[in-house]
Amino acid sequence: MRVVVEGVWPELDAGRFPIKRVVGEDVWIEADVFADGHDMVAAALRFRSSSDGEWREVRMADAGNDRWRGCFDVAEIVEHAYTVVGWIDRFETWRRDLRKKVDAGVDVAVDLLVGAELMKAAARRAEGEDRERLRAAAKTLGGKDETAGLRVAFDEGLRELASAYPDRRNQGAFERELRVNVDRPRARFSSWYELFPRSASPEAGRHGTFDDVIARLPYVQELGFDVLYLPPIHPIAHERRKGKNNAPTSKPGDPGSPWAIGAAEGGHTAIHPDLGTLEDFARLIAAAAERDIEIALDIAFQCTPEHPWVREHPEWFKHRPDGSIQHAENPPKVYQDIYPLDFETKDPKDRRALWEALRDVFLFWCERDVRMFRVDNPHTKPFPFWEWTIAEVRAAYPDAIFLAEAFTRPKVMYRLAKLGFTQSYTYFTWKNTKQDLTDYLTELTRTGAVEFFRPNFWPNTPDILHEYLQTGGRPAFAVRLVLAGTLASNYGIYGPAFELMEHAPIQPGSEEYLNSEKYEIRHWDLERADSLAPLVARVNRIRRENPALQEMRSLRFHGIGNDQMIAYSKRTEDRSNVIVVIANLDPKHARSGWTDLALDELGFGAAEAYEVEDLLTGAVYTWRGASNFVQLDPAAGEPAHVFRVGPRRSGSAAAATRAKQAVPA
């Protein structure tokens, strides 16, 4: 074949894994398409969905240097395939050469006859009115009126018509079909709120219930979250139960850790009796849905000594030489209340039965209208298991979403994403300097990772209280909230610990909370005057109202003359929504600096005046050019600016905006 098609992008691991998109997104594809000699080539992007199987095509545009570009959209939650083909464009080659000869004053009588033959061939490939138009063009080109022939040859309408019926003999094609995994929109844009149901009781000392969580839904809705994530809701063992602050032995009344799953009442498909029943859980699902909130469940594949599987399937656990079952440990940490599952059990039948049982846990909750799962420590389970399980679940429930709680090595995190996890926890919690944030976000948004890895940023979790939050006070919580909510399109907080600024570690140098909710029931005063709830609600409202913040591909960093300040922007493709965020990373001191904005990214000229409206406070400023002065004082409740950037408005409009009330940070 004369035409070569290579360098198709995006392509993951030579087509081993699909890229990721959500319903309604355009899938832009690029490829190198070229041939020997001087003939011009054309290229087409071929695509199909797994639901209909019929290939469709769109012509690709020449992007220069033999690079071609085209796109298609994905309209349903099914896997799509794509590839690229190319061919010699004989009509376009003839037309180019004809123009050169006309411009040089060379006789073109024979060339017009060649064009007539090309039109006749195209007519044979066409039907109906198009065929007649091509035949008429061929007749004119083959006639004696050279002026009329040239007019037809360079007619743009004929050019478009002829390109629709090309000669695709000896067509070249990319050697592989590549795939797109399509999710629903919440896979790309979501706001998560984590709470422990047992701590949802309005009465101190009483174990919370699903009814208490239902009563908490208006609060979650007012905060602006669309996903309510619950730690494990299953029975907790009594044997080897952990006590307060992870004490190795419990005292009467200690509730134990929700991740110690399994007791006489059941295992991963049972509900802790103090929370309620499956019927109560169904009411919670329905009540949340009425507020456009989804319930996400924690799936932790581990068992207590009292889990029914320990008795029913001892072959699913690793036994030590003395016959006892191996408990979990991560020296110096020891988890006597947890038995890990043995994915390397020797008998293939036992291994298959284990895989199916774990898959069926997901299916059990899917059947009860749960479609979002936070998966605990997936990196400690085999890669092939996750690829198979997620594919099985999505075959039955294509709208299922899986969040990987994988605080592990980068390549392992990326592999889990390629295998099917929809979103992933990240290192954001530990990225607190300007350089660290810039480097990390550049990796996530400007490399191939953007095609398959969807970050979910969490400033805190029940397991992680970073030193920045321990020592930075209220400004630290405020700025980390703004960063998480504007840098990432998916983010979450562990509350009410976050909005109530829980910051005491169990000991210096530890990231564990003092009086951790993992081991005891906490009572939270949601009406506290210093709560960050108003700021949380404002950030989530800003996210909902500004499409630029609902994706990550457009993220660009801008210069600002202070190492303790960071500036970045996001925008929609048509620049109808442009957001610029400037944050003070120092929670203890006021910082200032002059911006160095890339105005071409924002859609403004070097000398053009434009307005920036701070969506956190309502203040409006008129800026001009790339360099503008910014000062942020955390002591004055100014952790950051979230600017919506637009053309300069009238004075009355600006004044009206300035009159808005600020939300305290």
Summarised one tens digit per residue, pLDDT across range 420-474 is 999 999 999 999 999 999 999 999 999 999 999 999 999 999 999 999 999 999 9
DSSP 3-state of 270: coil
Phi then psi for residue 147, to 5 deg, are: -60, -45
- The residue behind tokens 């012509």 is 59
CATH topology of domain 548-658: Immunoglobulin-like (2.60.40)
Task: Report the amino acid identity of residue 521.
Answer: I
Alpha-carbon distances, residue 385 vs 140, 313, 460, 634 (angstroms): 66, 19, 29, 47
Pair of tokens at residue 604 = 């403004």
pLDDT value of position 662: 57
Q: What is the DSSP pairing of strand 640-647 with strand 609-614?
A: antiparallel
- DSSP conformational letter for 232: -
Helix extents (H) in 57-127 = 90-104, 109-125
Residue 15 structure tokens? 């087509």
Supply the Cα-derived Rg of the chain in whole angstroms. 30
Is the Cβ–Cβ distance between 459 and 481 less than 8 Å? yes
For residue 589, give both structure tokens: 């001191």
What type of residue sits at position 265?
E
Residue type at 442 in one-letter notation: T
Task: State yes or no: cis peptide before 664, omega within 30 of 0.
Answer: no
pLDDT of residue 655: 44
Catalytic residue status for 376: yes
- Find out whether 428 and 440 touch, Cβ atoms under 8 Å: yes
Tell me the backbone φ, ψ of residue 545, rounded to 5 degrees.
-90, -5
CA–CA gap between residue 310 and residue 553 (Å, rounded): 46
Q: pTM for the complete prediction?
A: 0.94
For the segment 153-177, what is each residue's pLDDT rounded down to a tens digit? 999 999 999 999 999 988 999 999 9
Per-residue burial over 6-17, b = 16 or more CB atoms within 10 Å of its CB, e = otherwise: eebbbbbeebeb
Residue limits of CATH 2.60.40.10 in the chain: 1-88+168-183
| Residue 306 is among the residues annotated as catalytic for this protein | no
Q: What is the DSSP letter of 245?
A: G
pLDDT at 664: 65
Q: What are phi and psi of 352, to 5 degrees?
A: -65, -40
What are 159's two structure tokens? 């050019």
Q: Which CATH superfamily is domain 1-88+168-183 in?
A: Immunoglobulins (2.60.40.10)
C-beta of residue 177 within 8 angstroms of C-beta of residue 82: yes
Beta bridge partners of 401: 372
DSSP letter, residue 261 = B
Q: What's residue 651's pLDDT?
A: 60
Q: Which residues belong to CATH 2.60.40.1180 in the chain?
A: 548-658
Please report the pLDDT score of residue 661 as a whole number.
47
Measure the CA–CA gap between 472 and 451, rounded to whole angstroms: 35
**Residues 103 and 198 sit within 8 Å (Cβ to Cβ):** no
Catalytic residue (one of 376, 499, 614, 638)? 376
β-pairing, 456-457 vs 490-494, is parallel
549 CB-side CA count, 13 A: 25
Where are the CATH 1.20.58.80 domain residues in the chain? 90-165
Residues in the chain where the model's pLDDT stays below 70: 650-664
One of 32, 79, 294, 405 is an active-site residue; which one? Answer: 405
pLDDT at 327: 86
Look up residue 513 and give its DSSP letter. Answer: B
- CA dist 246 and 511 (Å) reads 13
Q: Which residues belong to CATH 3.20.20.80 in the chain?
A: 185-547
pLDDT reported for residue 16: 98
Report how far apart, in Å, the C-alpha atoms of 267 and of each of 19, 114, 236, 389 are.
35, 78, 9, 19
CATH for 185-547 is 3.20.20.80
CATH of domain 90-165: 1.20.58.80
d(CA 52, CA 322): 57
